Amino acid sequence: LQDIRNTVGNIPMEWYQEFPHIGYDLDGKKIYKPIRSKDELDEFLEKMENPEYWRTVQDRLTGADVTLSDEQLELIQRLQKGQFGDINFDPYEPAVDFFSHEVRIHPVTNRPADKRSFIPSLVEKEKVSKLVHAIKMGWIQPRKPKDDSPVFYDLWAREDPNSILGRHKMHIPAPKLPLPGHAESYNPPPEFLLSPEEESAWEQQEPAERKLNFVPRKFQSLRAVPAYPRFIQERFERCLDLYLCPRQRKMRVNVDPEDLIPKLPKPRDLQPFPTTQALIYRGHSSLVRTISVSPSGQWLVSGSDDGTLRLWEVSSARCLRCVPVGSVVTSVAWNPNPSVCLLAVAVDERALLLNPGLGDRLLLSSTDQLLQSWEAPQEERIQPVRWIPASPEEFRSGIRLVLEHGKPVTQVTWHGKGDYWASVQRNPGGAQVLIHQSSRRWSQSPFRKSPGLIQCVQFHPCRPYFLVASQRSVRIYNLLRQELCKKLDSNCQWISSMAVHPGGDNVICGSYDSKLAWFDLDLSTRPYKLLRHHRRALRSVAFHRRYPLFASGSDDGTVIVCHGMVYSDLLQNALLVPLKVLKGHVNSLDLGVLQVLFHPTQPWIFSSGADGTVRLYT
Amino acid sequence: SVPRRLCILKGIYPHEPKHKKKVNKGSTAPRTFYLLKDIKFLLHEPIVNKFREYKVFVRKLRKAYGKSEWGTVERLKDNKPTYKLDHIVKERYPTFIDALRDLDDALSMCFLFSTFPRTGKCHVQTIQLCRRLAVEFQNYVIASRSLRKVFLSIKGIYYQAEVLGQPITWITPYAFSHDHPTDVDYRVMATFTEFYTTLLGFVNFRLYHSLNLLYPPKIDSQAEDELKPAEGKEYAMDSESYLERLSALSASLARAVAPAHEEEVEMDEFPVEGETAEQMDSKKKEQEALEKHKKLFEGLRFFLNREVPREPLAFVIRCFGGQVSWDKSLCIGATYDATDPSITHHIIDRPRVDKQVVGRYYLQPQWVFDSVNAKLCLPVADYFPGVLLPPHLSPFVTEKEGDYIPPEKLKLLALQRGENPGAGSSQKSEEEEEEEEDDNDNDKEEEEEVDESEKEEEMKLQKMEDQKTQSTQSNKALPVKVTAGKVRLEDKQRLEQEQQSEEKRLAIMMMKKREKYLYKKIMFGKKRKIREANKLAEKRKAHDAALKEQKKKSKKARQV
């Protein structure tokens, strides 16, 4: 067998697949691949015929077939079983511990010991001597046992006022905890214990809302008292309060409530004023919207929702006449001129001039003459309303002239001289205020455009002014110069009524939001005082012509009479004192008093109410 | 966290800004605001550096633990940075009086911490320190006899002492183990306690020195001999038994300077005139009463039974000059035995006494507390064992006019005034009370009258009207009938009252809006107060009536 050792080394043999040789031998000559001309059939035949076929393997390096010997086979089988290749090797030989824990008398190694292991270390000696020196010199001292307990001394031995910080002045000390009351006792008086209802109410409350933060309990003896389960929590809450609660200095209001009540003159000293209900004028079957008194103070006229006007004698409460006008009477006004006896009445869409037929006959006839003395002018002027003479049956009931407005009329009011009068009609966007002259049967609309919804108008008692109250404000116009001279802001939501002081410098306004505003025209355009006496909407306000009195009637069924003294001295403000709350009207339809009116000469007051009565208080 | 601890230690608290919206950028959400000045002030505090050092220390320690370098750990632990709060105490309380004024919370906290178990929630050192300081303070109060009021509440026991004219109130819990709540941050409490112990230590030092007592308090040598256990058996370690003996509260303390023989301090008298003389007189009387109060239990010898809470009772009795002892097995410091014939009061809290010794009162513990609050030794009959105790009233309540006063309090006041106690006085007081109640009722009625008078007027008017309408109708239908009118007597007083009330109502109408609001608020508060007082009185009345009924029934049953 020749030695054909391949010298290519450990390389993938497929590199030689293309070549006829398979590598090089020791001499550098090519080793050629053995001729392999066997096909599948030859292979099969070989397999069937050659008994050594199963132990024949190909040598990858030479490509020659090698038949394995018996020893080689055995080795392969042993390796396949995971056994050692060498048969003689015993893997379970007893182990001999060479480096063991046992100390031997002989050295393990034969190496001789170093010299330095016999001589003391110089470095260590140096270190030790240094330490010894340091100890001798007292540089190093033994560690003292630590004493943790704090040391106390007289901290405030020298109280130096200069060392107090400036910020200490601003310091707000925390308030102390409230001291316990009887209820917290372990054995409280029986009235401090909670009843079962109170206890359940206590449990349902939020912890922050509770008045007591514990339930009072009673124990028979001291030994029965248990520990309080929330003790630590309460201490903790106190801690939180101390460092988390914002602190603030608050001045405690220490006021005697009696001092808050203003010192006013006593009503007794401000007499006369109406105090008691004297007369009731009955007859109307529906609410009495409006009343008016004759300038002499002898007669009273009232207009009601039942479509009638009633004329009363003031002193006897007798109904003298009843004039049916056919519709709701919204406003009546007696002519203030004592030489003329005439009534202006607002009924639905008409305004009537009515001769009541009461009192002096001469006066009545002269009034009629005054009205009839009118002559139609040559040229017809365009008027906002139509003046129509009354029909005969109307004439018999006293009606003299009818003014067709075409819109519902809400108010009529006379000028002080008794010739001019004004009416307000509900005509949003158009002319709302009309001024009429009864002697010339002539009307005009003074304003080109209207300032909102007009509530009421009033002639100034002594100057040529005209006051118009819209929803929120009162405008004062100068009629001569035809310009706006003042606008009063009322601070109210909706003005209901207005009255002018006979002196002419003060105006009061009632409003539906239950306020009464007193204006001093010399002072400001804002209210001098806003009075909230009534509990519900104000319907009407009035001034007395002679006495310093004014009154207001409201939906809550009361009339409040106040003293309103105006001084001629400009420096002194008006004095307002409520004098009397007059009651008597019964509320119906959620309405109480609809109009209040003072007697022209006496300190009496009339009020008309929703219960269909007119009452006189004296 | 560091800022929180700083705020607590330095006593910095938030402030309520004047213009909340302006500060809070237009929002009204609740936020806490600190003054900028305060925060800057905190930055200058030297203790901040100590905190930083501590943080570094903790970091190093953790690292050493992580690397298992035990030598380093030891070394670090030995050099643990510490800080002192002395300068903060001085800064926060520049004068001693300031410190005394703020002592309430400190004492309550120390007493609470001293009852904590020695394991768990806090450091043992803190708890021991708290215990020590609390005991020292109690000993001071005993030595100076400055206790004034005691109150047994369901929360704990309130004490009030007067130190240098400042009332100091604190609360101690009943001696039970705590059920530690989970919703409490003990770190916050520990920070507070850290400061409070420092404060209390300095205050104690100063207080002891003001009485010429040695500060780390020492028990009088004479008393110490008595206290030494006779059998020679060691009761506890020396360091421990010292605190134990101190906390027994039964021995007097050693003084730095021997006290001069009971020098009575007498007030110098100055010749004064008029009102000041009266004031001086009243002051003098007050002083005498106080002296008498301080010597309330002088000469009495108490013995506490085992079931009685020893510490509070011993404290209170010793504060008023009494001598007290207890069973030897209960606590150290017992000076005499239960069989001692000189015992005058035996405090017992069980329904029956087995063996009664002649010559002493057997009383329930409430007697001691009630006597202290009443400033006199109360009659003992109500406090015998097994007897239903009279209510225990709070001494902190001083009833003003219009407040509800429980009848027991009235009785007590009568006793203090020196009226003879007994059935007569009690009846009288009851009558008085009834009268008072009547008065209250009258007041109420008057108030109602004010409201009702309006209604009445309306009613009257209505009636008149009705009559009138009837009469007008009847005029037509029936013949006129004249009946003799009745003479109506006009009650002048009533009329005047009505007029006045009307005037008032009219004046109220003229008030300004703001004042009216204030007035209404005040009146509402007053009315509510009256209502509450009336409610309490009513409840009491019902309770008494029920009690009487029961008594009657039981009597009847007995007769049958």
B449: confidence class by pLDDT, cuts 50, 70, 90: very low
Contact B153 A226 (CB under 8 A): no
* Greatest mean pLDDT range, A381-385, A468-472, B231-235: A468-472
Band of pLDDT at residue A46, cut at 50, 70 and 90: confident
- In chain B, what residues touch A146 (CB-CB under 8 Å)? 78
**Is there a contact between A167 and B37 if contact means CB atoms under 8 Å apart?**
yes
Least confident piece of the model among A211-225, B114-128, B471-485: B471-485
Is the Cβ pair A152, B4 closer than 8 Å? no
DSSP class of residue A346?
E
Q: What is the mean pLDDT of residues A537-566?
A: 88
Phi and psi torsions of A588, nearest 5°: -140, 145
Q: CB neighbours of A241 closer than 8 A, spacing ≥ 6?
A: A174
Please tell me the least confidently modeled range out of A57-66, A223-232, B290-299, B432-441: B432-441
How many Å apart are CA B307 and CA A510, to the nearest integer? 79
Residues within 8 A of B (CB atoms), A 327-346 only? none
Choosing among A156, A249, A266, which should be mutated to test the B contact, i.e. which has the most B CBs within 10 A? A156
| Beta carbons within 8 Å of B408's beta carbon, 6+ residues apart | A189, B390, B391, B393
Q: CA torsion sign, A545 to A546 to A550 to A556?
A: negative
Is some CB atom of chain B closer than 8 A to the CB atom of A174?
A: yes
**pLDDT at B51 (0 to 100):** 92
- Asked whether the beta carbons of residue B202 and residue A143 sit closer than 8 angstroms, the reply is no
- Is the preceding peptide bond at A180 cis, omega within 30 degrees of 0? no
Considering chain A, tell me which residue range(s) the CATH 2.130.10.10 domain(s) occupy: 274-367+383-617
CB of A252 less than 8 A from some CB of B? no
CATH number belonging to the domain at B297-396, selected among 3.40.50.10190, 3.40.50.720, 3.30.470.10, 3.60.150.10 = 3.40.50.10190
For the segment A291-319, what is each residue's pLDDT rounded down to a tens digit?
Answer: 998 888 888 888 888 888 888 888 888 88
- Phi, psi for A346 (deg, rounded to 5): -105, 115
Could you give the 3-state DSSP secondary structure of residue B320? coil
User: What's the Rg (C-alpha) of chain B?
Assistant: 34
Chain B residues touching A216 at Cβ < 8 A: 154
Predicted ipTM? 0.82
Tell me if the pTM is above 0.80: no
Query: Is residue B220 pLDDT above 80, yes or no?
Result: no
Q: Is residue A155 within 8 angstroms of chain B, CB to CB?
A: yes
HSE on the CB side for A447, CA within 13 Å?
Answer: 24
Q: Look at residue A367 and tell me whether its pLDDT is greater than 70.
A: yes
pLDDT at residue B434 tops 50: no
Distances (CA, A) of A534 to A490, A556, A563, B509: 17, 7, 16, 9
CB atoms A222 and B308 under 8 Å = yes
Residue A132 has pLDDT above 90, yes or no: yes
Residue with tokens 């108008």: A457
Checking if the pLDDT of B230 tops 80, the result is no
Question: Nearest 10 degrees: CA dihedral of B288, B292, B293, B298?
Answer: 160
- Cβ–Cβ gap B204/A159 under 8 Å: no
For residue B559, the distance in angstroms to the closest alpha carbon of chain A comes to: 28
pLDDT band with cut points at 50, 70 and 90 for residue A433: confident
- Name the residue of chain B whose CA is nearest to A257's CA: B519
pLDDT one-digit tens code per residue, A160-186: 777 777 788 888 888 999 999 899 999
Residue of B155, B180, B503 lying closest to A214 (CB–CB): B155
Instruction: Please provide the average confidence, as pLDDT, over all residues in chain A.
Output: 85
SS3 category, A127: helix
pLDDT at B263 over 70: no
CB pairs under 8 A between A and B: 266
**Chain B contact present for A278, CB below 8 A:** no
Question: Which residues 13-52 of A have a C-beta within 8 angstroms of B?
Answer: none
pLDDT > 90? residue B192: yes
Of A152, A231, A246, the CB nearest to B205: A152
DSSP for B121-173, written as a single string: SS-HHHHHHHHHHHHHHHHHHHHHT-EEEEEEBSS-EEEEEEETTEEEEEEE-
Cβ(A329)–Cβ(A346) below 8 Å: yes
Over 70: is that where the pLDDT of B457 sits? no
Please say if the pLDDT value at position A501 is more than 80. Answer: yes
Residue of A nearest to B192 (CA): A239
Residue B158 burial (C-beta neighbours within 10 Å; 0-12, 13-18, 19+): buried
Name chain B contacts of A227, Cβ cutoff 8 Å: 173-174, 176-179
CB A284, CB A613: distance < 8 Å: yes
Confidence of residue B112 (pLDDT cuts 50, 70, 90): very high
Q: Do B364 and A222 touch (CB under 8 A)?
A: yes
Contact A243 B504 (CB under 8 A): no
The alpha-carbon gap from A239 to the nearest alpha carbon of chain B, in Å, equals 7
CATH architecture of A274-367+383-617: 7 Propeller (2.130)
Q: Residue B209 and residue B340: Cα distance in Å, rounded?
A: 36
Residue B390 tokens read as 């009279």
Contact by Cβ (8 Å): B304, B357: no
Judged by average pLDDT, the poorest of A573-582, B90-99, B457-466 is B457-466
- Half-sphere exposure of A417 toward its Cβ, with a 13 Å CA cutoff? 9
> pLDDT tens, A57-77?
888 777 778 889 999 999 999
Residues 6+ apart with CB under 8 A from B324: B250, B301, B302, B303, B304, B313, B314, B317, B318
Rounded mean pLDDT, A534-551: 88
Q: Which residues of B touch A277 (CB under 8 A)?
A: 461
Residue B429: band (very low, low, confident or very high) from pLDDT cuts 50, 70, 90: very low
Model pLDDT, residue B446: 45
- CB-based contacts of A463, cutoff 8 Å, min separation 6: A504
Better-scored residue on pLDDT, A570 or B267: A570
Contacts of B177 in chain A (CB under 8 A): 227
CB atoms A143 and B158 under 8 Å: no
Interchain proximity B84–A233, CB inside 8 Å? no
Q: Is the pLDDT of residue A517 over 60?
A: yes
User: Quick one: residue A293, left, alpha or beta (phi over 0 = left, psi -120 to 50 = alpha)?
Assistant: beta
CB-CB under 8 Å, B154 with A214: yes
Q: How many CA atoms lie within 13 A of A153 on its CB side?
A: 9
**Residue A493: pLDDT above 70?**
yes
Residue B436 has a pLDDT of 43
Confidence of residue B475 (pLDDT cuts 50, 70, 90): very low
Rg (CA), chain A: 62
The predicted-structure confidence for B193-218, as pLDDT tens digits, reads as follows 999 999 999 999 999 988 888 888 88
Q: Chain B: residue nearest A166 by CA?
A: B91
Supply the pLDDT for residue B272: 58
**DSSP H or E segment with residue A154:** none
For residue B396, the chain A residue with the least C-alpha distance is A179
**Confidence check: pLDDT of B507 > 90:** no
Both tokens of residue B389? 């105790």
As a whole number, the mean pLDDT across chain B is 81
- Give the number of other CB atoms < 10 A from CB of residue A210: 13
* The predicted structure's pLDDT at residue B478: 53
Which positions in chain A touch B307 (Cβ < 8 Å)?
A: 223
CB-nearest to B15 from A220, A246, A531 is: A246
Section B18-42 average pLDDT: 85
pLDDT of residue B155: 92
Using an 8 Å CB-CB cutoff, list chain B residues near A195: 539
Quick check: A173 contacting B, CB < 8 Å? yes
Contact B173 A228 (CB under 8 A): yes
Residues of chain B in contact with residue A221, where contact means CB-CB under 8 angstroms, are 349, 364, 389
Query: For every residue of A392-458, which 3-state class applies, written as one string?
Result: HHHHHCCEEEEEECCCCEEEEEECCCCCEEEEEECCCCCCCEEEEECCCCEEECCCCCCCCCCCEEE
Q: Assign B221 a pLDDT band (cuts: 50, 70, 90).
A: low
At A22 the pLDDT is 86
Q: Give pLDDT, residue A235.
A: 93
User: Domain limits of chain B?
Assistant: 1-83, 86-224+239-248, 297-396, 398-412+521-559
DSSP B255: B
How many angstroms separate the Cα of A64 from the Cα of each of A9, A61, A227, A309?
A: 17, 8, 103, 151
Chain A residues 124-143 within an 8 A CB cutoff of chain B = 143
